[in-house]
């Protein structure tokens, strides 16, 4: 490469007019050989060629000192050899020299061979490149491979498919089916959502928004709360005392244990189990109670960010007024401010949801979980999180503290 650059410089020196080249050429090469960086010298030589070719007349005699305007400094003229005489022809020569330099550079880069660049696609398709068929079917393949990464696969895309299929409002608003709610689609959100009001009551409930829980009719061989209590005791009562302590139950049922242990003695009796099953979910036969369904519907509306945004007052339904303001409400989810809602902005956040679940301990609605409110089955179940949220246990715990404690817990589990 060093030799190529020196040869290029030598060639550029030779492009100077003969008198100049004869007089200073060897010295210029001598300086090149003594200098370190080639780039500034090559630039200087290129400028020098143009200067000598355009403004210095090789045929002109050295100007006599007697000539010239005495008021004009002798060094001030651009072309003291020939002025601008024959400027056009010199410009043409300069252009030719520039072209020659460019060609020389290309040849230099190609190490003496004019490099060939064929740009194409190994698997051309008209949809990808709007090129004519002849060029697509050229027998020779591309000589230069430019590897483009595979089309970006958004790991959230599979989630998006499932989520848009679950939440009918999202599918209704997303008219082009790209699982992105763009600004135009958001503008027409109200009309799109109104079509989901299948019962024509003017508002959307959880079922119309995609909730499927409780759809199935009671099972023909439904078990009663009594059957359920018996089954649990039969399966897990290892010491045969007719009750269940927490250590007898698998971990997944510990929440049930805490919730059903009405007297808080740590031992679930058959009566407590039956009462809990009847009160919370089960009546005489398999199937949720009306209260349970209402709460489930409200939870469903509350944990889905899009539905929670639409249900501004949090009453579990999207009213006519809330439907009218749908676009405005949905745009509150646009965290990055790009005007569109992507799946990342629509999917529920596990931490936020669990925080909301824990904050249900706040039965007096003052926004905090008091010491008394912690003494419920759910409070006892979440004791570890609540202790972490407020180690002193002597005051009310607010939502941010709960959220931070949950994040810390997840971080310790997943080693974030």
Interacting residue ranges for another protein, rule: CB under 8 A: 20, 23-24, 26-35, 40-41, 43-45, 47-49, 51-52, 56, 62-63, 65-66, 70, 73-76, 80
The first and second tokens of residue 20, run together, are 């100049």
For residue 67, the minimal CB distance to another protein (Å) is: 11
Intra-chain end-to-end CA distance of the chain, in Å: 50
| CB of 21 or CB of 408, closer to another protein | 21
The first and second tokens of residue 333, run together, are 């989810």
Alpha helices (H) in 206-289, listed in sequence order = 225-236, 254-260, 270-280
The first and second tokens of residue 273, run together, are 């189990």
For residue 8, the minimal CB distance to another protein (Å) is: 14
CA-to-CA separations, 356 to 223, 359, 383, in angstroms, rounded: 32, 5, 16
| CB of 74 or CB of 407, closer to another protein | 74
For residue 27, the minimal CB distance to another protein (Å) is: 5
| CB of 15 or CB of 229, closer to another protein | 15
Alpha helices (H) in 78-153, listed in sequence order = 87-109, 133-136
| CB of 28 or CB of 318, closer to another protein | 28
Q: Which helix (H) or strand (E) holds 368?
A: strand 368-369
27 phi/psi in degrees, rounded to 5: -70, -35
| CB of 66 or CB of 119, closer to another protein | 66
Strand extents, DSSP E, 231-371: 244-245, 267-268, 368-369
For residue 45, the minimal CB distance to another protein (Å) is: 6
| CB of 67 or CB of 176, closer to another protein | 67
CA-to-CA separations, 186 to 96, 192, 210, 319, 346, in angstroms, rounded: 60, 9, 19, 18, 13
For residue 91, the minimal CB distance to another protein (Å) is: 19
CA-based nearest residue to 230, from 239, 211, 215, 243? 243
Measured CA to CA, the distance from residue 242 to residue 276 in angstroms comes to: 17
| CB of 75 or CB of 416, closer to another protein | 75
For residue 84, the minimal CB distance to another protein (Å) is: 17
Half-sphere exposure at residue 231, Cβ-oriented, CA atoms within 13 angstroms: 7
For residue 109, the minimal CB distance to another protein (Å) is: 22
């Amino acid at each position: 490469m060093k030799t190529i650059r020196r040869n290029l410089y030598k060639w550029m020196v030779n492009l100077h007019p003969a008198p100049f080249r004869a007089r200073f050429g060897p010295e210029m090469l001598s300086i090149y050989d003594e200098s370190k960086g080639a780039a500034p010298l090559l630039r200087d030589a290129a400028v020098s060629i143009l200067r000598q070719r355009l403004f210095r007349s090789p045929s002109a005699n050295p100007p006599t000192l007697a000539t010239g305007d005495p008021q004009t400094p002798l060094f001030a003229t651009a072309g003291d050899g020939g002025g601008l005489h024959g400027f056009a022809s010199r410009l043409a020569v300069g252009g030719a020299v520039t072209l020659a330099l460019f060609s020389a550079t290309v040849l230099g880069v190609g190490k003496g061979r004019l490099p060939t660049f064929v740009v194409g696609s190994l698997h051309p398709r008209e949809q990808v490149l709007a090129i004519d068929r002849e060029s697509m079917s050229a027998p020779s393949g591309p000589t230069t491979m430019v590897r483009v990464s595979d089309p970006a696969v958004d790991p959230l895309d599979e989630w998006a498919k499932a989520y848009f299929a679950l939440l009918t409002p999202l599918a209704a608003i997303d008219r082009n089916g790209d699982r992105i709610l763009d600004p135009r689609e958001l503008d027409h959100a109200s009309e799109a959502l109104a079509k989901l009001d299948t019962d024509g009551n003017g508002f959307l409930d959880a079922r119309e928004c995609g909730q499927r829980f409780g759809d199935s009719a009671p099972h023909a061989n439904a078990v009663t709360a009594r059957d359920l209590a018996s089954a649990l005791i039969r399966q897990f009562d290892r010491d045969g005392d007719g009750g269940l302590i927490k250590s007898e139950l698998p971990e997944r049922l510990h929440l049930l244990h805490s919730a059903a242990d009405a007297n808080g003695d740590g031992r679930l009796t058959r009566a407590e189990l039956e009462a809990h099953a009847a009160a919370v979910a089960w009546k005489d036969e398999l199937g949720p109670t009306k209260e349970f369904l209402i709460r489930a519907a409200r939870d469903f509306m509350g944990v889905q960010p899009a539905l929670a945004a639409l249900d501004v007052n949090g009453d579990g339904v999207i009213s006519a007024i809330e439907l009218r303001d749908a676009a405005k409400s949905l745009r509150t989810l646009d965290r990055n401010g790009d005007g569109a809602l992507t799946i990342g902005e629509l999917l529920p956040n596990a931490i936020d949801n669990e925080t909301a679940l824990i904050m249900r301990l706040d039965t007096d609605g003052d926004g905090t979980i008091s010491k008394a409110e912690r003494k419920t089955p759910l409070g006892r179940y979440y004791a570890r999180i609540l202790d972490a949220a407020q180690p002193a246990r002597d005051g009310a715990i607010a939502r941010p503290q709960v959220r931070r404690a949950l994040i810390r817990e997840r971080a310790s589990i997943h080693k974030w």
